[in-house]
Amino acid sequence: MRRDEAFRVGDRVNHRVFGEGLVLETSGQGERQSVVVSFSSDKSQRRLLLKYANLTRVEEAEKNTKLS
pLDDT (tens digit, 0 to 9) for every residue of the chain, 68 residues total? 444 468 999 999 999 999 999 999 999 998 999 999 999 888 899 999 999 999 999 975 455 555 55
- What pLDDT does 6 receive? 84
Instruction: Please spell the DSSP secondary structure of the chain, one letter per residue.
Output: --GGG---TT-EEEETTTEEEEEEEEE--GGG-EEEEEETTT--EEEEEHHHH--EEPPHHHHHHHH-
| Residue 12 · residue 21 · CB < 8 Å | yes
| Residue 2 confidence (pLDDT) | 43
Q: What is the pLDDT of residue 8?
A: 94
**What domains, with CATH codes, occur in the chain?**
3-58 (2.40.10.170)
